[in-house]
Structure 1
Amino acid sequence: MAAALLHGVMALVAITTSLLPLPLEKANAATCTELLPSSRETSVRRSVTVDDLTRLRDIGPIASADKRSDMLSLSPDGKWIAFQLRQADPVSNTYCLGMAIMPTGGGGARVIDVGGTLILHKVKSYGWAGVPSGVPTVVMPRWSPDNRWIAYLKRTKGSIQVWRAEIGGIGGSAVTHSPSDVEDFRLTNDGQSLVYKTRRQLLDVEAAITREGQNRGWRLDNRAYPIRSARPQTPDSAPAEYFRVDIATGMEKSASSVEISLFEEIGNGHPNIMTTVTGNGNVAWGEIIHRSTSYATLQLVARAHNGRQFICDVDACKLDSRSSLFWNAAGTHLRFTRREGWSDSLTSIYEWRPGARSPRLLYSTSDLLVECHSLVNDLICLRESALNPRHIVRLNVATRKQTLVFDPNPIFQTLAMGKVERLHWRTDTGIACYGDLVYPVGYQAGKSYPLIITQYRTRGFLRGGTGDEVPIQAFANRGFMILSVENLEYEAIVGQRATPEKELAAFTKDFIGRKAQLAEIETITNILIARGLVDAQRVGITGLSDGSTTVQFATVNSSMFAAASLGGCCWEPAQDGLLGPLVADRYHRAGWPSLLEASHPYWKAISFTQNAERVKVPLLFQVADGEFLGAVESFTALAQAGTPVDMFIFPDEFHVKWQPAHRLAMYKRNIAWFEFWLNGMLPSDPLQRQEALNWEALRLKASRPFPWQNSIRDRGTLRHQAKVVQ
């Protein structure tokens, strides 16, 4: 239940980026000496390890790959790109953070400021100031008008402020000194000042909640979200405040209405999003024509500086909230990305001249174009492919050829990785589906392999599934096949409904949606078994958030799976007490029974507690401390029924686990779990080996057949393991 809660929240309300202090202030990694790649990395020849995946250098958060954001910033003269570079260090359990710049034509990146601690975002919903998600926020650099420096948000000593760094210097300095965190900022047109947004009264609201608890106790009311904390959620009642800071002197005063208007876009207080403005006054936006649980469908509209308005009403101009919208360098043509093709598996770039009947297709790819910016006649894009982590390219729209500008992770060009096959299929009801099949390194034709299924997005680099908990290429280097599934959208299953709430209710009714998603997975798995690629007795499944709900439903209703791993859990009759009255009421309106209906037949289709005796699948729970209570009831019932289960709880975590040490631990444990239950192998690491010996005790106690019948084997005795670097 807890694992799917954030997905349910996101389906019911809009996600807005906000700033969230970490539960503990962690010291920054000491040196950041490996933040930029070295030439030595391109000469490495070995297998992919879990450490490689944990230490990937990232531009922007993984979870924002499907959301409009600004991870790259081009200088006004078009000569420079600025971005934040991030690398995890699982040993110190910190991140190295650096603001980097480089020429748009390539030539090497340079870090001009390092340090600070990770800024996370939270989901705004239910009238609360925010529910923690665990996903890093996008830190967008803003250029000075003279191209000489960048400004950006940075968190140090628990405070988020605006910092500034010269492109020719080393190290930055704070510009603002707000008593409350800075949420956003803009530079004035002359570059002499900046205007920032904050919510100082939020500190008073939080202090009042603290006093309430100390003096008379907290009432369990609509602020309650017990699964996260006994403390009530902070109401989103503090107004935004705006202040102007003179950059040269540091003098601060309240911003004027004109200065506040720097934050305004077409759509503020109006159902429009994705606005963009050119220097010559032309404006374009996507006007919402339909909302679903996953995204909004948009109508492309442009308005010239003379006030004349144009609408592009052909299908190719139908965008959604995953699209990017921007002008060409001359400000005469609009460019935009949109999903299309088989089950929206392609990303295409179009160009439209306001007033023209139809747009022109510039480029289309099955890769993920995270975001693009116009540069003269070219595009600067963040791009990912199935085997290539996020990197910066320059795309010539005339020739459709690309040039690599910056690759943060060149080592992945030489590491041994399993080849990837893009799969297309249909469910028995005819719905188009797609996914990616990753072959084992050293694949042998005619041999059937164990399969691990990851969910629920498969766009861009195949890293670890949604939530990044399953190390796909590390599994491929250990003799597994991996199927990365793009789970069906709710609207694709139940059709378009008038509102997101009605769509969610239709999806939830009689588990129509879950049945379709399970059928999607079972259909392609059976195809792979029929092709002789997969051993039908050794199929594992994993999931976080909406994916964990699919795992729960699958292990209750299907006999296909021999082992499972969940990043959170579970849906149970008693969940109302953990959700609190406000969230529970939303779920009831979507079709979930109330606590008074614990015996409702609805629960027999998904509840672990009501199906514990017939669940035969070994289940691993790796959950955040802020969600683990949602899994305790299920775990206890399964354990009492003799189902092999194990649970690990990670402290100071949110829906998506953000700490590097925890990610590495989840990676390793997932490998050990599936190697044990699908291959009968013990890990060589002493701590992991002890965990696996506990699983062996659970196996013997279960007294039921598993995919392997012989005694457990030591990992080191298998020939293919000799090449694996631990």
Structure 2
Amino acid sequence: MNSLQKGNGSVVRRVKLATIHLLALGVLSGVVVSLHAGEAISPRRLIEVVDISGPVVSPDSSQVAFRTEQASVARNTYDSVWYVQNTDGKTPPRRVGEGGVPLRSSAGLSLPAFAVWSPDGRWIYYRALMDGKVGVWRASADGSSAKPLTNDPADVRNFLLSADGKTLNYSVGATRDEVIAAEQSEYERGIHVDSSVPIGQGDLFRSGNVEGRLATQRLDVLGDGFARVPLLSGVPDRWKAIDLLTGKTRDLEASEVPSPQTIASALPKGESKPWRYALDTVNHRVALLTRVGDQGDLVQKPGVELSVLLGKNSPRHIECQAEPCVNKAISGVQWKPGSEEVVYTVSDPAEGMAQSIFRWNVKSGEVRLVARSAGLLNGGQRYGLEDPGCGLSSTALVCVAADANRPPRVEKIDLETGKRQVLFDPNASLAADISADMPVKLLRWKDAKGRLFTGQFFAARRTGDRPPPLFIAYYLCPGFLRSGYGGEWPLATFAEHGISALCINYGPFSFDAVERYNQGLSAVKSAVDLLASSGEIDRTRVGMGELSFGTEITMWTAFNSDLLAATSITGALLSRSMYLHGSLKGKEFISRAHKVWQLGSPDETPEQWKRIGLEFNLDKIRSPVLMQVPEQEYVWLLDSAVPLMLDHKADLYVFPQAPHFKFQPRQLLAANERNVDWFRFWLQDYEDPDPEKKSQYAVWREMKAHASNRGENPAGSRGD
């Protein structure tokens, strides 16, 4: 994600950075078998993958609840469903309740789902957007009933179940009518532009999708960039309580407002907040992950230290000193219930961010491997949102597993033996097709400076003596690689059509912009050298594209090398217009721009602007650029897009009301399919005969003709 946009504001406070027809297990209600094995791995199949999140184990460990989320291109919406399954895996999961319209961050990412079990294991409680209202729902674990518990004029922000399971406390802000009235008042009286107004987007009135409707937004004053929040989101929480026996609701007095234990309350006075942590509220312990090591010019310190604090009054940290937890990329931590053990996750950069899970006994110091994966093994998160981890009991983990070539499924992992058992695999048909037709392998290589890079490589089938073209996505490659990190470049589809695809994980993030960009360029160049030298790809036919930070590296590569024959981006890069709009936020933005890009205003730092600004380097762009940009960001790209379009070097599409990550299924499908057409046109000299695409190809042929007139030789014109 672009460095100024890392904070993904949302109605769920401080969740930071910002899909799916069920293809198998037709025995389940609502599961549709829509495609046959062996059919093309199309962008639509990849978009309609079933995502799974929020596994949480019941108090007696016999059941697990989780939520599925699936895009429907036909209806241009998402279906989300809560399931409960017995952890012995002997029966299929039971559909217990609708999950409603998925709640999203302002960047467009689906927010983590979570459910709370009743103490007796009979019910799960969860927040859901239904019929335009965000409320708390209760579903019976046996699937017999599901109903809303709240009927508030305001949307529910948070909820807590009492320890005895008899009372539900929940918080709300401004009412829905108050928010709509405030929006309408601004529409009629004019929106007063100040530092909170997101002026760098196509519209200011009801331009963003908030809680399932188009709503007016403001910039998050607590954020570090262009993250957005709904109008009136600053209205303080009001807490209410429902007696679950009588159904009566009352307002809570200030003294009654629940104050769950926080990390601040668990640490000794003066102790700094750790990078990540896990609280054991029963035994008053906290497991800590602390960033350590020489930070140098890096955004964060390179190492992670695992330790525990046994009570607030005990300032002594017990550090994990066993080999499996020293100098390891530990990314998550949980307490094993009723034990002296901490369960932690390692996301190994040398293995392409593959995750492994370990147990650490804090008294004996012993560390044991539980499970090792080739991909993700967590609570279902693919993006940078904080992951709550796998569902955990005293004997087993229940995780969402996903590999580069295998879509998400629910797995149970025995903590003692490490035995893995698939409980639920709704994507089995697609997994079988990709495994049979599209093998994926992890690549490791070093650049000229000895820096290690990793990536997932989809090798295309050869159709002749000439090696296939290559498409590169540079950013992150977590879990199942449906369409790159940004969701718009279907890697398996490229490979099926004869274009090999490589997803590259970025390296340590440096504050020095030129160093950061050159590291990305070096990763791309060394990967091309590696694959071309082994005869696996044609170095004269290389395309590249990604979202956000991946967009920055794509365009840096385009104007600092001759590696690329075609490029595709979504979202904006830092430009003079972005800087101008951001400066309205004041010193927070200006300080960040200086720290992250070493930029002041164009008059203050002209040489740095000329060095890294795309609009100052347009004459160096030789490869054609497809720009498929969300409306909330396209204004910032016009400084570069318009001159490139006038020079027949760029084609621009703007997606109405889209945020940083597009999420509407039809918009995603259009972007994916156009990217396939784009790279097949430039890298393979191929045009889809679909008559509806005539105007698209007319523009691209004109671009190719102008490139030839300039003496450039587009890769696609060389023939196969």
Identify whether the pair has TM-score above 0.5, normalized to the shorter chain: yes
Cα distance per residue 1:582-639 (max 9 Å; x no partner): 2641313434434442881223334333222331111001111111111222111112
Q: In the aligned structure 1, how far is the partner of 2:520 from the partner of 2:562?
A: 15
Are 2:278 and 2:333, in contact at CA under 8 Å, matched by a contact in 1?
yes
Q: What does residue 466 of structure 1 align with? A: 485
Measure the CA separation in 2 of the matches of 1:672 and 1:19.
40
Maintained 8 Å contact 1:310/1:355: no
Please give the alpha-carbon distance, in whole angstroms, between the structure 2 residues aligned to 1:636 and 1:369. Answer: 44
Q: Deviations over 1:389-423 (max 9, x none)?
A: 11111223444331111112111233153111211
1:565: Cα distance to partner?
0.6
Contact 2:542 2:564 in 1 (8 A): yes
Work out the CA distance in 1 between the residues paired with 2:50 and 2:196. Answer: 41
Answer whether contact 2:287 2:335 (CA < 8 A) is retained.
no
Which residue of structure 2 lines up, in the alignment, with residue 641 of structure 1?
647
Q: Does the CA contact (< 8 Å) of 1:324 and 1:336 recur in 2?
A: yes
Counterpart CA distance in 1 for 2:664 and 2:132 is: 17
2:243 aligned to 221, 243, 246, which one?
Answer: 246
Alpha-carbon distance change, 689 to 248 in structure 1, aligned in 2, over 3 angstroms? farther
Structure 1 residue identity aligned to 2:432: T
Q: Which residue of 2 aligns with 1:672?
A: 677
SS at match of 1:548: helix
Name the SS of the counterpart of 1:199 in structure 2.
Answer: strand
Instruction: Report the Cα distance in structure 2 between the residues aligned to 1:170 and 1:295, rounded to whole angstroms.
Output: 50
Corresponding residue for residue 408 of structure 2 = 390
Matched residue, 1:377: 395
Query: Cα 1:103–1:418, aligned 2, differ >3 Å: closer, same or farther?
Result: same
3-state SS of the aligned residue for 2:355? strand
Paired residue type of 1:407: D
C-alpha offsets along residues 49-94 of structure 1, whole Å, 9 cap, x if unaligned? 122112111113xxxxxxxxxx111111111111111111112101
- Whole-angstrom CA distance in 2 between matches of 1:96 and 1:9: 28
Preserved contact between residue 556 and residue 606 of structure 1 (Cα < 8 Å): no
Measure, in 1, the Cα distance between the counterparts of 2:78 and 2:32: 22
Q: 1:559 aligns with which of 558, 562, 565?
A: 562
Matched to 2:155, the amino acid is D
Q: Which residue of 2 aligns with 1:323?
A: 331
Q: In structure 2, what residue type is equivalent to 1:220?
A: D
Aligned partner of 2:392: which letter? S
Q: Give the distance between the partners of 1:392 and 1:456, measured in 2 at CA.
A: 26
More moved, 357-366 vs 303-312: 303-312
1:360 maps to amino acid:
R
Q: CA deviation at 1:244?
A: 1.4
Q: CA, structure 1 residues 594+305, in 2 after alignment: closer, same or farther (shift >3 Å)? A: closer
TM-score by length of 1: 0.83
**Higher deviation after alignment, 202-211 or 568-577:** 202-211
What is the match of residue 179 of structure 1?
153
What secondary structure does 1:522 align onto?
helix
What is the CA-CA distance between 1:282 and the residue it aligns to? Answer: 4.8
Q: Distance in 2 between matches of 1:49 and 1:295?
A: 41
Q: What per-residue deviation string (whole Å, max 9, x for no partner) do you get for residues 299-343 of structure 1?
A: 434344796665215374469997232233442211111233627
Aligned residues: 659
Match in the other structure for 2:454? 434
The equivalences for 1:32-71 within 5 A come to: 44-60=37-53, 71=54
Counterpart in 2 of 1:118?
102
Identity of aligned residues (%): 22
**Aligned alpha-carbon RMSD (Å):** 3.4
Q: Does 1:368 align with 2:376?
A: yes
Please point out which of 608, 616, 620 is paired with 1:610. Answer: 616
Cα distance per residue 1:501-536 (max 9 Å; x no partner): xxx2xx22xx11101111011101111011101111
- The answer to whether the 8 Å contact 2:349/2:454 transfers is no
Distance in 2 between the 1:555 and 1:267 partners? 47
Task: Tell me the residue number matched to 1:632.
Answer: 638
State the Cα distance separating 1:436 from its structure 2 match: 1.1
Is the partner of 2:153 in helix, strand or coil?
coil
Partners of 2:170 and 2:662 in 1: how far apart?
Answer: 30
Letter in 2 for 1:624: P
Further displaced range: 616-625 or 350-359: 350-359
Task: Quote how far apart the aligned CAs of 1:170 are.
Answer: 4.6
Aligned residue in 1 for 2:70:
87
- 1:374 and 1:116 mapped to 2: Cα distance? 25
| Counterpart for residue 158 of structure 1 | 132
User: Partner of 2:219 in structure 1?
Assistant: 233
The question of 1:356 aligning with 2:379 is answered no
Distance 1:273 1:571, change over 3 A: closer
Q: Within the alignment, does 1:134 sit opposite 2:105 as a pair?
A: no
Deviations 1:18-51 (A, max 9, x none): 279xxxxxxx99xx99986869689723331122
Secondary structure, counterpart of 2:715 in structure 1: coil
| 2:121 equivalent to 1:147 | yes
CA distance in 2, matches of 1:207, 1:320: 52
Q: Which residue of 2 aligns with 1:78?
A: 61
> Which secondary structure state, in structure 1, belongs to the residue aligned with residue 67 of structure 2?
strand
Equivalent position amino acid for 2:12 in 1: S
Separation (CA, whole Å) in 1 of partners of 2:628 and 2:507: 25
* Counterpart pick for 1:683 among 668, 671, 688: 688
CA shift in 2, pair 1:233/1:437, >3 Å: closer
Matches within 5 A, 1:226-625: 226-227=200-201, 229-230=203-204, 232-233=218-219, 237-255=234-252, 260-261=257-258, 263-267=260-264, 271-272=273-274, 274-278=276-280, 280-286=282-288, 288-289=290-291, 293=299, 299-304=305-310, 310-314=317-321, 316-317=324-325, 323-340=331-348, 342=350, 345-357=353-365, 359-371=367-379, 372-416=390-434, 417-440=437-460, 442-443=461-462, 447-490=466-509, 494=510, 504=511, 507-508=512-513, 511-582=514-585, 584-585=589-590, 586-597=592-603, 600-625=606-631
Q: Counterparts of 1:260 and 1:276 in 2: how far apart (Å)?
A: 23
TM-score of the pair, normalised by structure 2: 0.83
**Deviation, structure 1 residue 670:** 0.5
Classify 1:363/1:114 alpha carbon distance in 2 versus 1 (closer, same or farther; 3 Å): closer
